[in-house]
Amino acid sequence: MASGKEISAKLVAELRARTGAGMMDCKRALEETGGDIDKAVELLRSKSIAKADKRSAREVAEGSISSYVHFNGRVGVLVELNCETDFVARTEAFQALAKDVALHIASAAPLAVRIEDLSPAVVDSERRIYEAQVAEQNKPEAIRAKIVDGMLKKFYEERVLLEQKFVKDDKRTVGELVKALAAQTGENVRVRRFARFELGGE
């Protein structure tokens, strides 16, 4: 366990550098975790993501449009990332996230930003396919719906942008990256829309 002196100076500065959180929040997190900086990072991340969820209703009228074209020129992406102020939109962290999301979309080819943005026809079609597959496996009637729901959840994780594992770090989803930036900036951050073009595609 770190001493009070270490927590109040060197460790607080290091934690602030790693998380961007306020000095008092860093000091409290270190006190709660007995001076374990890795645990303090996790604690601050979980608290700040919870705050970011509360901010999600606030209006986002600023932001930027970022683009990515794959090196072979066969795939290109435009993505609109929004925030609340022009100040945040111009920050390096915001611009970096916009570029990362564009690169991710080029690689992972999501169908929609959010689950609710998926076409009902697409969801119904997937559900019918899964129901037919489960029926063929002769699973008990009582658990078929639960199995189908699990298969749909996996479909969302594979084809919906905010549910997908980030291509550069599969321990986090794209949605978690967006929330982390919201927590860091203190603003609502949202992926509004994207367009993905593939040579010879529809």
Q: Is 156 helix (H, G, I), strand (E, B) or coil?
A: helix
Q: What is the pLDDT along the chain (202 residues), one digit of tens a residue?
A: 444 445 657 788 888 777 667 778 888 888 888 888 888 888 877 776 555 555 555 566 799 999 999 988 999 999 999 999 999 999 999 999 999 999 999 999 999 999 999 999 999 999 999 999 998 888 888 898 899 999 999 999 999 999 999 999 999 999 999 999 998 888 889 999 999 999 886 5
Beta-ladder partners of 191: 81
Dihedral angle sign, alpha carbons of residues 179, 181, 186, 187: negative
- The CATH class of the 4-55 domain is mainly alpha
How far apart CA 202 and CA 197 sit, in angstroms, is 8
Structure tokens at 142: 């009582």
pTM above 0.85, yes or no: no
Domains 4-55 and 62-114+160-198 share a fold: no
How far apart CA 68 and CA 80 sit, in angstroms, is 12
CATH 3.30.479.20 for the 62-114+160-198 domain, yes or no? yes
Domain boundaries, the chain: 4-55, 62-114+160-198, 119-158
